[in-house]
Structure 1
């Protein structure tokens, strides 16, 4: 292979992996759209952690209320698009029950 063809070929081999992830050409990696049930689940797990670890009783009561609301919201969804929705809904419901028992 002539030297005048080797250099551009090597440059392309080196540049392609480096530039492919930077979205310079519009085809780079993009973040996945946020799933509503996953957003509710993550917030509920933060509230569960707060309910378990907070020293302030008012913060624990507020976290328990938000957790119960999240459990009701997730249980009310009948046609979820996330395949893990029912797993997450069960965890949120169990967390809400646990938190309610902890508060008394």
Structure 2
């Protein structure tokens, strides 16, 4: 896996990281540790619990930029992550 690019954006007290490699991409929200990626399974999914990485939930959106904008707007409007609401927004 060769990293092609990495970018980070701060919104309120969160940092959203975007990374792209030759095998896929990810969006990570810190310090919450929420990971959204398309590695390994061939579809976009969210890992809502950083301590239980095997737990994942499939989401409908499939481009990194769209995922990033949904997460960014969610944090901007709520000033925090409401995980249930965020997952609903990602599944629209």
TM-score range, shorter chain: under 0.3
In the superposition, the TM-score normalised over structure 2's length comes to 0.21
Q: Which structure has more strand as a fraction of its residues?
A: 2
- Higher relative contact order by CA 8 Å / sep ≥ 6: 1 or 2? 1
